[in-house]
Amino acid sequence: MRELEARAEFRFEATRSSGPVSALLLRPAAARWLLVLAHGAGAGMRHPFMEAVAHGLAACGIATLRYQFPYMEHGRGRPDPPPFLTATVRSAVAAAARAAPELPLLAGGKSLGGRMTSHAAAAAPLPGVRGLVFFGFPLHAAGKPSAGRGDHLARVQVPMLFLQGTRDALADLAFVRPLCVELGARATLHETEDADHSFHVPKRSGRTDPEVLEELARTVSDWADSLVSRGALA
C-alpha cells in the first residue's frame, strides 16, 4: 500500500434477499472524487485489473470503492439477474456516500459492472453521482456487432465517459462512435489504440499494459475535474 493511500474493508447489504457483500475503499490523502467501481462478469473486485485501476486512480486523486456483486461474493459462476445487480449498484452508491460524505461521487465499472451501473442510473438517478465511467462498455456480444445494449443510455441524466479499446471485441467502434454522437454533450469517448476489452495491448503497439492503465487513470481524472466547469457539481 502506498504511504498516501488509506485502505479500508467493510461489508454492506446488497439487497434484502442476497444479504451483505464485501467492499474495499482505497482513498488517497488528497482525494477530490470517489468512484464507485463495479467489477466485470468473470472476476471480482480483487482482480489485478481492478486493483491496478484503483491504485492508478488514487495516484490521480480519485478514491475508489470497489465491491462484489452477490453472485461473486458467494462463489456462483453466473451473474445475478439484472434487478439484483442494479439494486447492488444502488446500495454501493449509498455505502460510498456514508463512507466519504464529503467527496463528490462518480460511479461505473469494468464491462458488466459499468453496464449495470448505467441501467441503474437510467431507471432512476443515483443519489449524489455526478457522472458515470465505463471501462470497456460491453455494447454487444462478441462477433455480433450492434448498438442494442446502449438504448437505455438515452435515459441517463449525467455525463458519461466511455473508455474503449480499439480492438475491443464487445464494442465495435463503428457502433460506439455514433452512439456517443447521439448522446450529445453527455458522452465523452476516449479511444485507447490497440487495446482489447481487457485493455491489454500487444508488444507491437510500443506500449505496456501499465502505461495504458496510467493513461486511463489520467483520462478519468481530467474528465472528472472538467465536470466542475460544466456545472455537474452545482
Domain ranges across the chain: 5-228
Q: What is residue 3's predicted lDDT score, i.e. its pLDDT?
A: 45
Q: What is residue 28's predicted lDDT score, i.e. its pLDDT?
A: 96
133-165 burial code (b ≥16 CB/10 A, e <16):
bbbbbbbbeeeebebebbeebeebebbbbbbbb
Q: What is residue 1's predicted lDDT score, i.e. its pLDDT?
A: 41
Q: What is residue 26's predicted lDDT score, i.e. its pLDDT?
A: 97
Task: Give CA separation, 215 vs 58, 97, 187, 195, in Å.
Answer: 13, 27, 19, 12
Domain covering 5-228: architecture: 3-Layer(aba) Sandwich (3.40)
Q: What is residue 53's predicted lDDT score, i.e. its pLDDT?
A: 97
Q: What is residue 4's predicted lDDT score, i.e. its pLDDT?
A: 59
Mean pLDDT by 10 residues, the chain (234 residues): 72 92 96 98 96 97 98 94 97 98 97 98 98 97 89 97 97 97 97 96 94 97 91 57
Q: What is residue 232's predicted lDDT score, i.e. its pLDDT?
A: 57
Residue 63: closest CA among 220, 230, 209, 184: 220
Q: What is residue 233's predicted lDDT score, i.e. its pLDDT?
A: 55
